[in-house]
Structure 1
Amino acid sequence: MSAARDLKRNSLDLPGAVEAARTAYAAKRPRSAALHEQALEVLAGGNTRTVIAYGPFPTAMTRGEDCRLWDLDDHAYLDLCGEYTAGLFGHSEPRIHAVLHDVLRRGINFASVGPGEEKLARIVCARFPSIDRVRFTNSGTEGNLMALTAARAFTGRDKIMAFRGGYHGGVLTFPAAGSSPSTLPLPFVLADYNDNDSAIAVARAHAKDLAAIIVEPMQGSGGCLPARPDFLATLRDLANETGAVLIFDEVMTSRHSGGGMQARLGITPDMTTLGKYIAGGMSFGAFGGRADIMAQFGGKLSHAGTFNNNVLSMSAGGVAMGEIFTAEVAEAHFQRGEALRARLDDIGAAKGLPLCFTGLGSMMTVQFRTPAPDRPFVPTAREEQLRELFFFDMLEAGIYLARRGMVALSLPVGDADLDRFVAAVAAFADNRAELLRVDGDAA
C-alpha cells in the first residue's frame, strides 16, 4: 500500500473509513452479492445462520483445503475463523476424509446402535475428568438443553444460574446487557461473570430452588473472556453448598487441553457439555457427567434424536479424537496460540494503541480498549465500527476470521500463516492509527 493511500485512509473519519471499506468489499464480490439477493427470495434474512450474516452481504465460500478458503468470486483466504472452533482439523484432513468415504460406502442411517458410538464414548469418558457416562446430540445447543434437563430432574428443582455475556446455544443466549428474545423461557437467574460476590449472592438467594449453575470456562461468543480460576473454584464451592449441579459448557474450550479447561485448571464440574470439533467437522454435541446423574437416562428420562449417533459423526469422531487430536497435540496447539496472542498484544502496546486480544490458547478476539477486559461489556459505537473496519481490512489482506473479530486456529495453520496474520494486524495498526487514537476510544 502506498504512502499516499495510507495517508488518505488515516485522514478519513471512522464512519467514512467503514463506509469506504464496505464499498471496496462489495465492488470485489459481485457474485456473492448476486447470490445474497437470490437468497433473500427464499431464506428469511437471506441466510440460515445469523452469526455468518453481515452487511452489506456475506462472502459466499465455495471450496476449502487445509487452512485455505476460496469464495464465489475466486478470492483466496487464510482461514482463521476455523468454523468458530468446529473446524479444528481444517478442510481436508486425509484421515478424516478416508473414514468418511469408508462409512459412505457401507451405508448411512442404520437406525441402530453401532461400534463407532461406543468407541467415541469411551474416548470422551477417558479424556474429561467429570464424564463418567456420556450421551451424544447433534449440536452443543442440544447438549446444553439436555444437561439442564438432567440437572433439573436430578435435583427436583427448577432454577438455573447463568452468567451475563454467556452463550450456550442459539436458544440459550445471555447478552451483557438486556435479554435475547430467542432464549427459551426457562427460570434463569443471572449473575455477573468473573464476579465472585455476584455469584455468591445470586446462588444463596435462590439456594433452595437452584438446580444448576452453567458456565463457560471461557466465554467464546462473549469475546474470548477467560474465567478466573478463583471464580470457577467459587462456583464449585457454591454447587457443593447449595446442592446444585455444576455444568461446564466446554463446547469451545474443550480444545484447550486433552481434557479441556477442567483438566487444565484441576476444577471438576458435575456435568460437561461438548460440541464443535470433536466429530472432525461433522455435526456433533454431547453431554455427560457423574454416573448417578446420567443414570436417569435409561430410567425416568428419555433422550431422542434421529441423528444423535449418526455413523458419519461417530466414525469421524473416533479418528479425530482417538488418532489425531491427542493430549500432546492439544497442548502444543494451546501453546502456539498463547505465543501468537502475545505477539499480537505487543503490536498495540508498542504503538500505545487501544488494541489487544483476549483469549486462551488457539482462541482469541480483538478488542479496542485497554486494559484488556476480563468480563462482559457493552461495546461503544466506536468499538463496533473499529471491529467492522478490522474485519474488512483483514478480508482485504486475504484473511478470513469471524465478523466479531474472533480467531480460532486450526491444526493446519503453519508458522508462515501466523507470521502473515501478525503482519496484517501490524499493518492495520499503522494504517488506522489515527482512528484508533481518537480520545475516548479506550473504555
Structure 2
Amino acid sequence: MSIDNVLAPQPNVAELTRAASLAADAFAKSNPKSEAAHLEALSVMPGGNTRSVLFYPPFPLTIARGEGKRLWDVDGHAYTDFLAEYTTAMYGHSHPVIRAAIVEALDNGLNLTGHNTLEVPLARLMQERFGSVESLRFTNSGTESNLMAIAASLIFTGRKKVIAFKGGYHGGVLTFGSGNSAVNVPHDFIVAPYNNLQSIEAIFAAHADDIAAVIVEPMQVAGGCIVGEPEFLEGLRDLTQRHGALLIFDEVVTSRLSGGGRQALLGIRPDLTTFGKYIGGGMSFGAFGGRQDVMSQFDPRLPGATPHAGTFNNNVLSMAAGYAGLSRLYTPGAAAALNEKGERLRARLNGLCRERNVAMQFTGIGSLMNLHAGLQPIHSVDDLGDAETPLKDLFFLHMIERGCYVARRGFIVLTLAHEEGDLQRLEEAVASFVDRYEPLLHA
C-alpha cells in the first residue's frame, strides 16, 4: 500500500466488527430454516459447502426459488437479486426467451453424441461480436477456458512461464487473490502486481525468452472490481508483442461491458480471449478463442494436433440458451444501455458517500461495482485497508435485511431484469446503511 493510501481516511475497524457481530446475531434469528438447512448440509459436505464463495458466517442463506429479478429463501424472505449468480443470470431467472430455447432443445434430444446444429450459430455470433476472435472452441466453464488458453500458449510458444496478477481470479484452480494459491495447477507462474507496468517490464527483462503468456482481467472482478488502467493494459499488449509472448484477456465477466467486451472499449486486440458466465444463457458455459494461427493447433485434421476433449463442450442446452440470449436479448445496444445505467448508479452512490463524508466508495465499470472501505485510489488489492472485511460484512447483512441480495464481498451486479425502480431501491438501501451506521464510517 502506498504512503498516500495509508494516510487516506478509513472507517473504525473495531466498531465495524462489533456492529457486524450484532447484525449477524439478528440475521441468525431471522433465518431459522436456512440455519436448519445448513446444519443438514454439514452432515454430507465439508462445512456444508460445495462452492467456497457461497459460504459466510454465521451460515449462508438457502435460496428456494427465483423468478425474474426476484429470489426467495427457505424462510420466505423475498429479495431483489443484485448478484445474479455472480454475473451469470444476465436475463433474470427463467426468462421466457431462454426457457423456450431450452424446451426446444430438450424436445429435439438432450444428448446427441455428435456435432449439432446449435454450435456454429453461437460461434459465428461470438466471432462477429468479439473482433479479436478469429476462431474459437467451447468449454464448460470460464475455468476450463482459461486452462485451455494457457495450455495453448505454452504449446504454441514452446515456453514455460506465465505472468498472472495478484488479486486475479481465472477459475477455481487459477486463483491469485494473495499470490499463487495452493490449489492452483502447477504451471510456472510469475505473480506480478496489477496496474504496475514497470514490474512487468522488469520481469520481461529477466525472463523474456521463457514467458509464454500474460493472462489478465481487464478489470479484476473477484478482486473487487479493480479497473485495469488503459495505459497498463496497452503496455501489456506492447510488451507481449515485442517479446513473442501471447496476451490472454480473461473476459469471462468483462465481456458484458460492451457489445464486444472491454477490449472493444479499449481498442486492444489480445491474442486469446476467454469467455464464460452469461454467454451460456444461465447454463454451464465457457469458450476460448483468438488468433487463427494459435487456434489452428486444435484442428484434428492436422498431424500432432493439440487435443481438447470434453463431453459437454457442445451440450445442446448451453448452445441453445447461449444463442437465444446473445442474439435476441443482450444485443450490443442492450449492452450499451445496461452499462450506461450502471455508470449512473455508481456515480450516485459515490456522490452519496462524498456528500455524507463517509470513508467508503464503489469501484467498477458499467453494470459491475464493488464496495470498498476508505477514500484512497485503488489500483490493486494492495491498496485495500484493514476495514474492508468488517465493512463488507456489515453492509452485506444490512442489504439482506433491506431485501437486496448482494455478494458478501460487496459485489453488486445489474442485469437486464432490473428497472429504474429496482436501482432506486438499491440506492435507498445504501443510503439507509449510511444513516444507520454513519458514526462508524468516518475516519
Q: TM-score, normalised by structure 2?
A: 0.94
Letter in 2 for 1:213: V
Distance in 1, matches of 2:55 and 2:396, equals 13
Deviations 1:320-367 (A, max 9, x none): 111111111111111011001000001110011111100000000001
The residue aligned with 2:434 is 429
Quick one: distance in 2 between partners of 1:372 and 1:27?
Answer: 38
- Pick aligned residue for 2:80 from 71, 78, 81: 78
SS in 2 for 1:211: strand
* Aligned positions of 1:143-222 closer than 5 A: 143-175=145-177, 177-222=178-223
Q: Which amino acid aligns with 2:391?
A: L
Q: Distance in 2 between matches of 1:336 and 1:378?
A: 27
Number of residue pairs aligned between Structure 1 and Structure 2: 427
For structure 1, the 5+ residue unaligned runs are: 1-9
Question: What residue number does 1:386 align with?
Answer: 391
1:102 Cα offset (Å): 1.3
Taking the aligned partners of 1:403 and 1:336, their CA distance within structure 2 comes to 23
Answering whether residue 281 of structure 2 is matched by residue 280 of structure 1, we say yes
Does the 8 Å CA contact 1:276/1:283 hold for their aligned counterparts? yes
CA distance in 1, matches of 2:263, 2:117: 28
Which residue of structure 1 aligns with residue 51 of structure 2?
49
Percent identity over paired residues? 50
State the Cα distance separating 1:259 from its structure 2 match. Answer: 0.6
2:7 — aligned with what?
none
The residue number in structure 1 matching 2:6 is none
1:374 positional shift = 2.2
User: What is the match of residue 4 of structure 2?
Assistant: none
Question: Which residue in the other structure is 2:233 paired with?
Answer: 232
- How much does 1:14 deviate? 2.6
TM-score by length of 1: 0.94
Whole-Å separation in 1 of the counterparts to 2:257 and 2:333: 11
Unmatched 5+ stretches in structure 2: 1-11
Correspondence for 2:262: 261
In the aligned structure 2, how far is the partner of 1:265 from the partner of 1:378?
24
**Are residues 1:342 and 2:347 paired?**
yes
Alignment correspondent of 2:62: 60
Partner in structure 1 of residue 112 of structure 2: 110
Give the 3-state SS of the residue equivalent to 2:80 in structure 1: strand
> Deviation at 1:178?
4.3
| Partner residue of 2:408 out of 384, 403, 423 | 403
> For 1:300-335, what per-residue CA distance to the aligned partner results, in whole angstroms no more than 9, with x for missing partners?
201001111000000111111111111111111110
Q: Secondary structure at the match of 2:184?
A: coil
Cα distance in 2 for residues equivalent to 1:31 and 1:361: 36
CA distance in 2, matches of 1:129, 1:229: 18
The aligned residue for residue 23 of structure 1 is 25
Mapped to 2, the partners of 1:377 and 1:361 lie a distance apart of 23
Q: Secondary structure at the match of 2:387?
A: helix
Task: Return the offset for 1:379.
Answer: 4.2
Question: 1:374 and 1:240 mapped to 2: Cα distance?
Answer: 24
Q: Distance in 2 between matches of 1:377 and 1:294?
A: 36
With over 3 angstroms needed to count, the CA separation of the structure-2 counterparts of 1:71 and 1:139, relative to structure 1, is same
- 1:293 Cα deviation after fit: 0.3
1:434 and 1:223, CA in 2 relative to 1: closer, same or farther beyond 3 A? same
Find the aligned partners of 2:209 and 2:185 in 1 and give their Cα distance: 22
| Deviation at residue 377 of structure 1 after TM alignment | 2.3
Structure 2 Cα separation of the partners of residues 66 and 19 of structure 1 = 32
**Of 366, 377, 386, the match for 2:382:** 377
- Structure 1 stretch displaced more, 136-145 or 92-101: 92-101
8 Å CA contact 1:78, 1:399 repeated in 2 = yes
Match of 2:421 in 1: 416
- What is the identity, as a one-letter code, of the residue corresponding to 2:197? N
Conserved? CA contact 1:262–1:268, under 8 Å = yes
Q: 1:119 aligns with which of 118, 121, 127?
A: 121
Q: Distance in 1 between matches of 2:356 and 2:46?
A: 44
**Secondary structure class of the residue paired with 2:309:** coil
Shift of 1:15: 2.7
Letter in 2 for 1:279: G
Q: What letter is aligned with 1:287?
A: F
Q: What secondary structure sits across from 1:212 in the alignment?
A: strand
Q: 2:328 aligns with which of 317, 323, 326?
A: 323
1:354 to 351, 359, 375: 359
- SS of residue in 1 equivalent to 2:59: coil
How far did residue 371 of structure 1 move? 2.6
Contact persistence 1:204–1:242 (CA under 8 A)? no
- Of 92, 95, 117, 1:93 maps to 95
* From 311, 324, 327, the counterpart of 1:306: 311
Secondary structure class of the residue paired with 1:81: coil
Please tell me the residue identity of whatever aligns with 1:349.
Answer: R
